[in-house]
Structure 1
Amino acid sequence: MTELVLLALAIPVLALLIDLLLGEPPTPLHPVVWMGKMIGYLDKRIKRTSQRADRLKGVFLALVPLCIFPLSFTLMLGVIHDLFGAVVWAVVSAVVVKTMFAINAMDRHVRPIMEALERDDLDAARRGASMIVSRDVSKLDKEHVISCAAESAAENTVDSVFSPLFYLGLGGMPLMVFYRVSNTLDAMVGYMSMEHINIGRFSAKLDDATNWVCARLCVPFILLAMALLRLDWRQGWAMAKKYKGATTSPNKGWSMSAFAGGLGVRFEKPGTYVLGDGPLPSDPAVIGRTVSVMKLSAFLFFLMVALPLFILLGVHVQLLLEEVLTWWL
C-alpha cells in the first residue's frame, strides 16, 4: 500500500514537472494531435444528409475516438506494468498524463503577443493572436488584441488545466484521456457552422457536460490566487456572478468574467459578448497577470484537489481498468 501511495504521488508530480520544465512533446508525437487527425479523417468521410441522420453520424464520429484512445492507452500501460514493473509504469503514466493538460503552453502562446504589444508591433500581436483564437483578428485594435489573448488564457484555465486534472483525480489516466478526446472533438466539430451544426451537436453537448463542474469549481481557486497576488478577488467574484451567463456556452463565462473582474477590465468579443464592468484593457501587462493567476490557481487546484483525489481514487480506477484489459496476459 505504501508503494502504491508513493507511485500515485509520483505520477501527477512528475507530469507537472515535465510540463513546467520541458513543455509539450514534438507535434508528431503528441496524442492530442493523433486525436485531431482521427477526428478530421472521420469528419471528412461522413456524408451530410438529413438532420436526424447527421446527428446520429455525429454520435458515431465521437464514440470512435472516445473508445479507441482511452482503451488503447489503458491497455498499453497495463502491458507495461506487467512486463516492466511499477516504476516504469509510473514514469510512462506520467508522460501520458502530461500530454493531456497544459499549463506552460498557454504562457508560451500569449507571451509573444504581450511582448509584441510592448514594442508597439500591433501586426505581430495580431499574428500571434490568430494562432490561439478562431475569430478574425486582422482589424482588432490594441485593446481587443489584449482582450482576446487574456480571454484565451482565462478560458483555457478550465479546458486545459482544471478539467483534465479533475478527471485524472476522479478516474485516473483513462478518464483524463476520455476528457481530452471530448474537448478535442468540441474544438474540431462542435461549433455552429452549417457543416457541423448537426454532426457536431453531440460533441458540443458532451463538452458542455464534461466541463460543467470545473467551470464552476475553478472560480474559488481563481479568487484565492487573486487574493494571494493582491488583485481584486471580491470584484472577480462579483463579475463571475453577474456575467456567468453572458456567453453562448453554459461554462465559459464563469472563469473569463472572474478574471476580468479581478483584473479590473472587461473582456469583449465584438458582436458576441462583453464580460466585466471595467474598461477594455490597454496595458499589455494584463496578459501577463492573467497567466500568473492561471498558473497559481492551477497549482492550488493541483495540490488541494487533483493530487489527493488521484491518490484516494483515480489511481485505483486506473489500475482496475488496466487489470480488466490485460486479464489475458
Structure 2
Amino acid sequence: MPHPVQFMGVVISFLKRLAEKIAKGNKSKLYIGGAIITFIVLLLSGISGWFIERLFLFFEIKNPFLSTLIFALILSSSLASRSLNKSILEIINLISKGNHRDNLSNSRKKLSLIVGRDVESLDTNEILRASAETASENSVDGIFAPLFWIFLGTIFWEFNQSMPGPLSMAWIFKASSTIDSMLGYKEGNLKWLGFTGAKTDDLMVWIPSRIVLITLPFCCKTKQSISKTIRDSWKDGIVDSSPNSGISEAIFAYCAEVRMGGVNYYKGQKKIKPIIAKTYPMASINSVKKILSLSLRLELAWILVFFLIMKLVNL
C-alpha cells in the first residue's frame, strides 16, 4: 500500500516547483513560499487524519474490533521502527560477512539510502559510525517524536473527540518531518524555501528529544549513574549545530557506550561534528545492535507508561 508520506512528498514537490516558478530567485518570496508550503502541507495532513478519525469513531460503534484494528494499522504507519531496524540490520549483516569488495560496496549503497553524508569512500569503521549515529537520531525522529504526538492527540480526545486525535497529530508531525527532509537544506533556493519547514520540525522534535534524554538511561545498564549519564549527554550533545540531533545521538552514545562524531562529508564539503562520549570505543556491530535494542526497549516503556497513566486517569 502507498505510504502517507509518499502523498505528502508529491504535494511538497508540486508546491516547491510552483513556489520557485513564482519567486524567480527572490529571497523574500522564497521565504513566504516556504511558509505557505509548510502551512498547506501540515493543514492537509492534519485534516486528512481528522477525517479518518471521524470514520473510525463512526464505525467503532458498529464494529469496534475491526475498526480499531484498521485504525491501529493506519496509525502504525507514522512509526518507523520496523523500517529503521531493517535498514540498519541489512548494513551490519553485510559487514559481518567480511571486508569483501562487494559487501563493502553494497553496505555503502544501503547506507546512502538512510544518511545524508557522502558514503563513497567510507571504510567499515566509518560505515558502522554512520549506522550508529543515524540509528540514534532516527530513533527520535522516526519513533519517539511521532509517538509523543500520538500520545498528545490521545489526550486531546480525553477532553473532546472533535479535537485532532492521535492520527491527526502524528500526520502533522510526519508532514513537518517530510518537509524538512525534502526542503531543509542550506543550499540554493532551499536555504530560504525550506527555512520554515526546518524550524517547524526542530520545534516539534524539541520536547520528545529531551524526554528521550531523561528516560533512555532507565532502560540501560552503564558504569555511571543515571544522573551523570544525562548530564554528560547534555554537555556533549548541546554543542551540536542541530538543537535535537546532537542530544539524540549523545544519549544513545552514552547508553550504548560507543563514541560518535568526527569528520563527515556532505556533497564534497567537509564538516566536523563534535566528538560524543569520547572515552568509549568506536562503533562496532554489537554497539549498533545495542542501539536498536535500546530503542525498542524505550518504545515499549513509553507505551506501557502512557497506557498506565491513561488507565489511572480514567479510574
TM-score range, shorter chain: 0.7 to 0.9
Higher relative contact order (CA 8 A, sep 6+): 1
Residues 182 and 203 in structure 1, CA contact (< 8 A), matched pair in contact too: yes
Residue segments in structure 2 that go unaligned for 5+ positions in a row: 154-165, 264-270
Q: CA deviation at 1:190?
A: 1.4
1:233, 1:108 → 2: CA distance?
Answer: 32
Alignment of 1:215-230 (within 5 A): 215-227=209-221
User: Given the alignment of the two structures, is residue 41 of structure 1 paired with residue 14 of structure 2, yes or no?
Assistant: yes
Identify the residue that residue 119 of structure 1 maps to in structure 2. Answer: 97
43, 46, 49: which one aligns with 1:73: 49
CA contact (8 A) 1:74 1:174 kept: yes
- 1:205 paired with 2:199, answer yes
Question: What's the offset of the Cα at 1:300?
Answer: 0.8
CA shift at 1:212, angstroms? 0.6
Look up the SS of the partner of 2:261 in the other structure. strand
CA distance in 2, matches of 1:231, 1:114: 26
- Residue in 2 that maps onto 1:181: 175
Q: 1:56 aligned to 2:39?
A: no
Question: C-alpha distance in 2, partners of 1:312/1:196?
Answer: 47
- 1:187-220 deviation line (CA, Å, top 9, x unaligned): 1111212221101100011011111101100123
Among 168, 184, 187, the residue aligned to 2:150: 168
TM-score, scaled to structure 1: 0.79
Q: Could you tell me which residue of structure 2 aligns to residue 297 of structure 1?
A: 298
Q: Which residue of structure 1 lines up, in the alignment, with residue 266 of structure 2?
A: none
Quote how far apart the aligned CAs of 1:105 are: 1.6
**CA distance in structure 2 between the aligned counterparts of 1:276 and 1:42, rounded to whole angstroms:** 42
Instruction: Quote the offset at 1:36 in angstroms.
Output: 1.3
Partners of 1:191 and 1:65 lie apart in 2 by 18
Checking the alignment, whether the CA contact within 8 Å between 2:205 and 2:244 is kept in structure 1 is yes
Greater Cα shift, 124-133 or 201-210: 124-133
State percent identity of aligned pairs. 22
Count of aligned residue pairs for this structure pair: 284
- 1:20 alignment counterpart: none
User: What is the rounded CA distance, in whole Å, between the counterparts of 1:310 and 1:167 in structure 2?
Assistant: 15
CA RMSD of aligned residues (A): 2.3
| Inter-partner Cα distance in structure 1 for 2:312 and 2:10 | 35
CA contact (8 A) 1:170 1:310 kept: no
The alpha-carbon distance between structure 1 residues 143 and 185, as it changes in their structure 2 partners (threshold 3 A), is same
Residue 155 of structure 1: CA displacement? 0.5
Q: Determine whether 1:214 maps to 2:192.
A: no
- State how far apart, in whole Å, the 2-side matches of 1:282 and 1:210 are: 29
Task: Give the alignment partner of residue 97 of structure 1, picking from 48, 64, 75.
Answer: 75
Amino acid corresponding to residue 35 of structure 1 in structure 2: M
User: Per the alignment, do residues 256 and 125 of structure 1 end up closer, same or farther by CA in structure 2, a change over 3 Å counting?
Assistant: same
155, 158, 162: which is aligned to 2:137? 155
> 1:231–1:262: 8 Å Cα contact kept in structure 2?
no
Q: 8 Å contact 2:91–2:111 — kept in the other structure?
A: yes
What displacement does 1:268 show? Answer: 2.1
Please identify, of 174-183 and 198-207, the stretch whose mean Cα deviation from structure 2 is larger: 174-183
Partners of 2:312 and 2:67 lie apart in 1 by 18
Distance in 2 of aligned mates of 1:182 and 1:218: 20
CA distance in 1: counterparts of 2:312 and 2:175, whole angstroms: 24
Deviation, 1:80, is 4.7
Q: Give the conservation status (yes or no) of the 8 Å contact 1:219–1:255.
A: yes
Range with greater deviation from structure 2 (286-295 or 272-281): 272-281
What's 1:6 paired with?
A: none
Give the 3 Å change call, closer, same or farther, for CA 312–284 of structure 1 in structure 2: same
